[in-house]
């Protein structure tokens, strides 16, 4: 349907060399968008799959939290000509009891998950406003935007902050026809959850609470991200959509 078409759009996706980011990039490409992939390492597999769908893939290699967001956005625009969509997907996690948690691990996670996401959104919004063009910004939040979790204090703080930031940016930028929303994935089979899935007790505890009866996959985010990046969501502002197999409803 044209309502969900992204033809002619350029979408920048951070952390798209594998996992959820790769799934998001491929979903947007299937809907017709060209992709700017921002990753620490070459996203060759994602590039090949996007190009196999008939879309262009532009590469920006950058370490979020180290490289200036303004430079990342500038590189993207030089290559692609413009940006219409930003998906702030890249994120890191550090696990340790709160009583022992280090300042280094706190700063590393907040710098990537929250600070970089904000300043990337800021520079993309400036670009959209200068062009007087509508745009979509989607932040990848978490179930820990709503819950506390255990042994991940900086991750919980960053994802809770990202939910609040999504609402604030929506309040300020909706008047510019920029939709800012978020997706909160549930427990997904990715590198970030490998330690949980390798722990038989934690694995069974988590799986036992998911009404859908399975861990999520990157494909499970496709419909949500296409919706929030398309004209179908033009009147959706500041919402965080849980894609969690029913976890939060339990």
pLDDT in tens, 40-75: 999 999 999 999 999 999 999 999 999 999 999 999
| Cα distance between residue 150 and residue 103, in whole Å | 17
Tens of pLDDT, residues 190-240:
887 888 899 999 999 999 999 999 999 999 999 999 999 999 999 999 999
Cα–Cα separations (whole angstroms), residue 180 to 83, 159, 163: 15, 15, 11
Structure token pair of residue 235: 């009147």
Bridge partners, 36 (sequence order):
12, 58
Query: Which residues are within 8 A (CB) of 98 and not within 5 positions of it... i.e. 6 or more apart?
Result: 151, 153
Q: In this structure, are residues 13 and 186 in contact, taking their beta carbons and an 8 Å threshold?
A: no
Strand partners for 185: 243
Q: To the nearest whole percent, how much of the chain has pLDDT over 70?
A: 100
Tokens representing residue 125 in the block: 């919004």
Supply the residues annotated as catalytic.
Answer: 155
The widest CA-to-CA distance across the chain, in whole angstroms, is: 52
DSSP state of 125: H
d(CA 155, CA 225): 22
Per DSSP, the three-state class of 231 is helix
**Model confidence band, residue 1 (pLDDT cutoffs 50, 70, 90):** low
CB neighbours of 198 closer than 8 A, spacing ≥ 6?
none
CATH architecture for residues 2-190+217-244? 3-Layer(aba) Sandwich (3.40)
> Which H or E run includes 14?
strand 10-14
């Amino acid at each position: 349907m044209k309502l969900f078409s992204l033809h002619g759009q350029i979408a920048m996706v951070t952390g798209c060399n594998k996992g959820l980011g790769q799934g998001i990039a491929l979903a947007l490409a299937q809907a017709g968008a060209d992709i700017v992939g921002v990753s620490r390492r070459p996203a060759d597999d994602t590039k090949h799959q996007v190009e196999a769908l008939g879309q262009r893939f532009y590469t920006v290699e950058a370490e979020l939290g180290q490289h200036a967001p303004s430079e990342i956005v500038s590189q993207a625009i030089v290559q692609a000509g413009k940006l219409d969509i930003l998906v702030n997907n890249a994120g890191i996690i550090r696990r340790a009891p709160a009583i022992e948690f280090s300042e280094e691990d706190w700063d590393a996670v907040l710098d990537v998950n929250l600070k970089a996401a904000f300043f990337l959104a800021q520079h993309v919004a400036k670009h959209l406003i200068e062009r007087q063009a509508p745009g979509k910004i989607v932040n990848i939040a978490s179930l820990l935007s709503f819950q506390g979790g255990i042994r991940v204090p900086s991750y919980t703080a960053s994802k809770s902050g990202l939910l609040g930031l999504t609402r604030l940016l929506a309040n300020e930028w909706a008047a510019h026809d920029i939709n800012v929303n978020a997706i909160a994935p549930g427990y997904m089979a990715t590198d970030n959850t490998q330690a949980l899935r390798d722990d038989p007790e934690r694995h069974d505890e988590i799986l036992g609470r998911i009404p859908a009866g399975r861990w999520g996959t990157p494909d499970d985010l496709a419909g949500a991200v296409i919706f929030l990046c398309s004209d179908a969501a033009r009147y959706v502002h500041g919402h965080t959509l849980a894609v969690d197999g029913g976890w939060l409803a339990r």
